[in-house]
């Protein structure tokens, strides 16, 4: 081979190396399957918080990691179909939230690691063996806190002077929500309030539930899951229509017109779920990563809604709020 031919061959090979390297890199991208509870519009902030934290940890979408995103569109029965799709795609980890969706993913695969950004009672519902040692292929962040019902009622009483009777609404198809409604009613009774549970199972049940609540309560607590989160704007609209102040579990529902919320910062939970993904992609086993419980709870108040309802929120309560929407 002549010197010129050798140099030409070498140059062509050198030019091809970056392309080959890039092709090789693409085939080796680790993949996360993100199973959203609701719709892109409803959960855009949660997903953005998750992706932003991944970037901070060095995982850049389409460069160092691939993310397959699917949404149930508010229909929990789709969770099993999407989880099966993730198994066919051979994703390296599945991220989701809410007990029904986590359970569907767990029933679909016992091999692919599953991270839940939030779940109500992961031990009680059998998602994990224990908080300290989850076992199996599932781990994540729990939102269960036994003192939350009492604290939420106390805050609601401060915002609604003379509160005597409380309505509780939740999805009776979700065992975690059934337990929460019971705990909330127990806390209300302990604090001397009358209470009534109003069960829903689908979107069409919301309007009849409010018709049943009308005139029978001075305030409402909404147990949050896929059904109520997806319909939070509809629920708040109905509540304002019957002049009912609403306490929610997360600020997302206050942004959508609810009066107030007290609970974990759900966006922070989705950020933390990215840390779990990072550990798993770097070799950690979900069975050995402890489930975290929140240590900080945010109080959010919507003053615009308070004015519509004719409520004067006490300055002492506003001073304790982590966020006030005006």
pLDDT tens track for 291-316: 999 888 999 999 999 999 999 999 99
189 and 321 in a common domain: yes
| pLDDT number for residue 8 | 47
Instruction: Report residue 145's pLDDT band, with 50, 70 and 90 as the boundaries.
Output: low
18 and 132 in a common domain: yes
DSSP string across 261-320: EEEE-HHHHHHHHHHHHHHHHTT--GGGSPPB----EEEEEEHHHHHHHT----HHHHHH
75 and 199 in a common domain: no
88 and 194 in a common domain: no
Tokens of 99: 């007990």
194 and 304 in a common domain: yes
The answer to whether residue 178 sits within a structural domain is yes
Bridge partners, 69 (sequence order): 34
The answer to whether residue 2 sits within a structural domain is no
Summarised one tens digit per residue, pLDDT across range 22-63 is 444 445 699 999 999 888 888 899 999 999 999 999 999 999
| pLDDT number for residue 146 | 61
162 and 138 in a common domain: no
| pLDDT number for residue 186 | 94
135 and 153 in a common domain: no
201 and 152 in a common domain: yes
CA–CA separation, 97 and 102 (whole Å): 6
Summarised one tens digit per residue, pLDDT across range 59-82 is 999 999 999 999 998 788 899 999
H/E stretch holding 275 reads helix 266-281
* Average confidence score pLDDT of the chain: 90
Q: Kindly tell me if the per-residue pLDDT of 287 is higher than 50.
A: yes
Only one residue has tokens 């709020």, namely 321
Q: Kindly tell me if the per-residue pLDDT of 13 is higher than 60.
A: no
| pLDDT number for residue 27 | 56
302 and 205 in a common domain: yes
pTM: predicted TM-score of the whole model, two decimal places: 0.82
95 and 39 in a common domain: yes
- CB-CB contact of 118 with 141 (8 Å): yes
Q: Kindly tell me if the per-residue pLDDT of 5 is higher than 60.
A: no
Instruction: Report residue 230's pLDDT band, with 50, 70 and 90 as the boundaries.
Output: confident
CATH number, domain of 16, equals 3.40.50.2300
Q: Which domain holds residue 235?
A: 148-264+297-325
The answer to whether residue 3 sits within a structural domain is no
Number of independent structural domains in the chain: 2
The answer to whether residue 1 sits within a structural domain is no
CA–CA separation, 298 and 320 (whole Å): 9
67 and 209 in a common domain: no
Q: Kindly tell me if the per-residue pLDDT of 160 is higher than 90.
A: yes
Q: Kindly tell me if the per-residue pLDDT of 2 is higher than 50.
A: no
The answer to whether residue 4 sits within a structural domain is no
- Nearest CA to 227 out of 244, 245, 204 is that of 204
271 and 259 in a common domain: no
The answer to whether residue 80 sits within a structural domain is yes
- In this structure, the strands spanning 194-200 and 219-222 are unpaired
Per-residue pLDDT, averaged over 227-251, amounts to 94
Q: Kindly tell me if the per-residue pLDDT of 11 is higher than 70.
A: no
| pLDDT number for residue 75 | 82
């Amino acid at each position: 081979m002549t010197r010129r031919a050798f140099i030409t061959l070498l140059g062509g090979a050198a030019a091809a190396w970056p392309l080959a390297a890039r092709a090789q890199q693409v085939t080796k991208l680790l993949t996360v399957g993100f199973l959203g509870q609701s719709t892109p519009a409803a959960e855009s902030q949660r997903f953005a918080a998750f992706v932003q934290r991944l970037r901070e940890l060095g995982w850049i979408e389409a460069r160092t990691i691939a993310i397959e995103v699917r949404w149930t569109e508010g229909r929990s029965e789709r969770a099993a179909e999407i989880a099966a799709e993730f198994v066919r795609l051979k994703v390296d980890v599945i991220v989701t939230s809410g007990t029904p969706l986590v359970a569907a993913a767990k029933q679909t695969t016992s091999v692919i690691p599953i991270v839940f950004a939030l779940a109500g009672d992961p031990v009680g519902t059998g998602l994990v063996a224990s908080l300290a040692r989850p076992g199996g292929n599932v781990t994540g962040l729990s939102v269960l806190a036994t003192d939350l019902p009492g604290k939420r009622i106390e805050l609601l009483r401060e915002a609604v002077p003379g509160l005597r009777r409380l309505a509780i609404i939740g999805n009776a198809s979700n065992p975690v929500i059934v337990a929460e409604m019971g705990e909330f009613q127990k806390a209300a009774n302990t604090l001397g309030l009358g209470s009534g549970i109003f069960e829903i199972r689908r979107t069409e049940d919301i309007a009849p539930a409010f018709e049943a609540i009308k005139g029978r309560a001075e305030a409402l607590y909404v147990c949050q899951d896929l059904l109520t989160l997806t319909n939070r704007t509809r629920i708040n609209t109905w509540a304002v229509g019957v002049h009912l102040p609403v306490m929610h579990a997360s600020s997302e529902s206050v942004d959508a017109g609810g009066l107030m919320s007290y609970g974990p910062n759900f966006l922070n939970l989705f950020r933390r779920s990215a840390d779990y993904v990072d550990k798993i992609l770097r070799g950690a086993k979900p069975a050995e990563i402890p489930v975290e419980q929140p240590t900080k709870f945010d109080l959010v108040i919507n003053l615009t809604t308070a004015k519509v309802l004719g409520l004067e929120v006490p300055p002492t309560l506003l001073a304790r709020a982590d966020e006030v929407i005006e």
